Structures are given as structure tokens and as C-alpha cells.
Amino acid sequence: MNKLLTIILLFAFAKAVTAQQDPQYTQYMYNPITINPAYAGNRGVMSIVGLHRSQWVGLDGAPRTQSLSLHTPIENSRVGLGLSVVNDEIGPSDETYIAADFSYTLPVGDEARLSFGLKGGVHLLNVDFTKLNIFNTSDPRLQENIDNKLSPTVGLGLYYHTDRFYVGLSTPNVLQTNHFDDSNDTSATTFIAEERIHYFATAGYVFDLNDDIKFKPATLVKMVNGSPLQVDLTANFLFNEKLTLGAAYRWSAAISGLVGFQLSDQMMIGFAYDRETTELGNALYNDGSYELFVRFELFNSYDRIITPRFF
């Protein structure tokens, strides 16, 4: 058990040192605004999404992520606005992203739309080194915790869609920020945390299998320097525009099961379970990863969505 805890803490510390990975989501297709500001307002109504993810349940220091987002179109304009808050905890680190989103949409055909997005906000980083089993307790870089280290974030995005197809390209933060040992020393060349630029590509399509069943394949590709390419492939089936059942594969990482239910015109809930396909999945105290989301949409009876949006 002690050996396992040491491995997890070392992994957590590695995350704090390099920050090579933004939070990951299995149900990315329901909350794309967290990674792509161009999606703001594209559902046609005010949309509020809350999500919680517990990864590698049972392992001390395992990742936990919470996100809350809100976005809406601006009436009689091509503008969409949004706000998102994401908290990501892993091992000794606690990161919070707060961002405002702006989109501008242009018609590029009878049914197609192209949106441009801009995201701006702040990133707060906390690292508590007392949670680590430190080999060299005299290491000067680990003597003081990082408390509310503030850095700016600027993101960009493109989003193209029709009633049946979408594709998006984005980066939530184009700024690469180094958190130095001594914030007053501008000549420092060593750092204990680095925010790297992440690039995302998403795509999806809706096929009508018959009057009651729709097939909704989707994919997400994430690229970041210093980490392997991450590819998610998802296949969802929508029954009677109410019940969604699906499966997903994260390339060389995990397999997932997904279920969602449209409780009413305004509210949808969804649940996903991931099981690692790596050696970590065989760990005695790893019970897999769980993800739960709730989406609530606000609209009046006279302007409700006549043709449901499937993404």
C-alpha cells in the first residue's frame, strides 16, 4: 500500500511540475465551451452545464474535476457570450480556471454557420508540498507552497456546424506561463510549474437510422507538446430523442460507457464510467473513473427550439 501511495504522489507531483494536461472529459460533446469559446451561444438558448469527474477512484491524490459553464446568444445579433469556471485537483495541486467567452457567427450557406471565438480569463494555481513524501527535504524549490499564483489566459476557437455536422478547432490558452521559484527574480531559469499550450479538435455527425433512433459518432483530439497525442472516439445512440446510450475509447488509455436522459425540454443528465486499459487499470485500489453532468436550458414557450439540437 505504501508503495502504491508513493507512485500516486510521484505522479501527482509530476503533474504539478509540468502541467502538461488540461482536465479531460469523457462527455466532451455536451460541454464544448470549456475548451472552445466559439461554441458560445450556438445552442440558440441560454445553456447551463455542471459537471463533476472523479478519476481513478480509490487512489489517494487522484484527479477530481468540477466545471460550471453558462452561455447564451444575444438576441437579434450574431454574438454569443459565455462564462466558465473549472476546478482541477490532483495530488498536491489545485488549479482553477475562470474565463469569459465571446463568439461571432457568420452564415456560410443555407444551413451552415461558422463561429469565431475568443476566451479571456485567469488561472489560479495552488501547490501544497506538505502532501508529498519528499526525498530531499532540503530542496529549496519545495520549501514554500504556491498560494493563489495568478496568471492570465487567452484562448481562441473556430466552430463550424450544420444541423447534422460539426467540427471545431481551439486552444483554451495560447499563453505559456512559467511559475518561477522566486517570482521577484525575472532572470530565473528554473520553474516548478508550467502552463503549456493545448490544442483541441472536435467533430461529430448525426445519422438517422430510422424514425426513432439516431447514431451520433464524435471524436476529440488533444495535442500538447511533451505529451502523447490523445484521441477519443465516441459512438452514441439516441432513442426517441430521450435516451442516449453509448461507448467510447480513449486511444491506448481507457474504454467508457455513457448514458444520458432528456428529462424534459429544458433538462438533461448524463453519466459516464471509464476503465483504464493501461497497467494503472489493474491497480488494486483503482475503481475506475466516474463522470456526471447536468444541463439546464432556459427559453420561453414561444421561442423554444422547434428542431432539437443534437450537439
Scanning the chain, the segments in alpha helix (DSSP H) are 2-18
pLDDT value, residue 142: 63
For residue 287, the 8-state DSSP code is -
In sequence order, what E strands does 91-229 have? 93-107, 113-127, 146-161, 165-171, 177-180, 191-195, 198-205, 207-208, 213-224
Cell 460541454, residue?
A: 31
Cell 507552497, residue?
A: 145
Rounded Cα–Cα distance for residues 164 and 154 (Å) = 30
pLDDT value, residue 186: 47
Contact 13, 267 (CB under 8 A): no
pLDDT value, residue 178: 62
Rounded Cα–Cα distance for residues 27 and 247 (Å) = 11
pTM: 0.84
One pLDDT digit (tens) per residue for the chain, 311 residues: 344 444 444 444 444 334 445 778 999 999 899 999 999 999 999 999 999 999 999 888 889 999 999 999 998 999 999 999 999 998 888 999 999 999 999 999 888 999 999 999 999 999 887 767 666 666 656 667 777 889 999 999 999 999 999 999 999 999 876 654 444 444 444 555 566 789 999 999 999 999 999 999 999 999 998 788 999 999 999 999 999 999 999 998 999 999 999 999 899 999 999 999 987 777 667 889 999 999 999 875 445 554 456 77
CATH annotation of 36-180+188-298: 2.40.160.40
pLDDT value, residue 285: 77
Task: Quote the distance between the C-alpha of residue 283 and its chain's center.
Answer: 25
List beta partners, residue 35: none
